[in-house]
């Protein structure tokens, strides 16, 4: 009998030391959001490509080329002798205009002004960054960027809205090579 409280305490410790069981999740994630997002983006891309092809067809006198990076471009003036294109760290000076696919100007050259950009070291929307790499000094190119190569889902928080494909006329003035 005198060992009864001790036995009682041992039984309580033995029963209470059982490891906790994991509870099942309240919500099961199946990845369906990502799948829906992929399908939505594919449909948007297909729609934009059709619109861009119509715009290219309307420029019947211009020969647009497709880039490996997913945009289209046409040389308005091409440098014949110069072979230098901007490389990583080079500083470029350029001007450009921005229009929507209907040709309505969003930003004029006067609004934007002359721009300076150090290649791949500063922020610039991906289409223009990749387009500048194709250019030589004194060239003038018209680029057509699908929205994912322009400002995408977020726009520019000013005049360019969500998922807007753009036409940019870019004039590359100078390339200053990085000598580092």
Token pair 């350029």 is found at: 94
Nearest in space to 143 (alpha carbons), one of 171, 109, 113, 111:
171
pTM equals: 0.80
Nearest in space to 138 (alpha carbons), one of 177, 99, 98, 85:
85
Q: What is the CB neighbour count within 10 angstroms for residue 159?
A: 13
Instruction: Return the biggest CA–CA distance within the chain.
Output: 108
Q: Which domain holds residue 167?
A: 62-176
> For residues 165 and 150, is the Cβ–Cβ distance under 8 A?
yes
Specify the DSSP class assigned to residue 153.
G
108 is a domain residue: yes
Residue 33 confidence class, pLDDT cut points 50, 70, 90: confident
55 is a domain residue: no
56 is a domain residue: no
> For residues 114 and 173, is the Cβ–Cβ distance under 8 A?
yes
pLDDT score at 37: 86
Q: How many residues are there in the chain?
A: 180
pLDDT score at 129: 96
Judged by average pLDDT, the poorest of 6-10, 117-121, 174-178 is: 6-10
25 is a domain residue: no
- Give pLDDT tens digits for 97-115: 999 999 999 999 999 999 9
140 is a domain residue: yes
* 73 vs 59, more confident: 73
- Give pLDDT tens digits for 119-170: 999 999 999 999 999 999 999 999 999 999 999 989 998 999 999 999 999 9
Nearest in space to 145 (alpha carbons), one of 97, 100, 87, 93:
100
Distance, CA of 72 to CA of 69 (rounded, Å): 9
167 is a domain residue: yes
Domain count, the chain: 1
Residue 75 burial (C-beta neighbours within 10 Å; 0-12, 13-18, 19+): middle
- Per-residue pLDDT for 11 more than 80? no
44 is a domain residue: no
Can you give the CATH number for the domain in which 152 is found?
Answer: 3.10.50.40
22 is a domain residue: no
């Amino acid at each position: 009998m005198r060992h009864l409280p001790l036995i009682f305490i041992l039984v309580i410790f033995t029963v209470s030391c059982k490891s906790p069981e994991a509870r099942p999740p309240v919500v099961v994630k199946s990845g369906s959001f990502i799948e829906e997002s992929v399908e939505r983006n594919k449909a948007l891309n297909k729609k934009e490509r059709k619109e861009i092809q119509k715009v290219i067809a309307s420029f019947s006198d211009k020969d647009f080329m497709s880039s490996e990076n997913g945009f289209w471009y046409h040389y308005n003036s091409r440098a014949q002798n110069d072979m230098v294109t901007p490389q990583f760290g080079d500083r470029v000076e350029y001007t450009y205009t921005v229009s929507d696919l209907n040709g309505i100007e969003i930003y004029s050259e006067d609004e934007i002004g002359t721009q300076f950009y150090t290649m791949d070291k500063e922020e610039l929307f991906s289409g223009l960054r990749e387009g500048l790499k194709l250019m030589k000094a004194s060239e003038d190119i018209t680029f057509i960027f699908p929205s994912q190569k322009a400002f995408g889902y977020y726009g520019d928080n000013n005049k360019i809205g969500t998922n807007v494909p753009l036409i940019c006329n870019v004039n590359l003035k100078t390339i200053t090579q990085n000598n580092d």
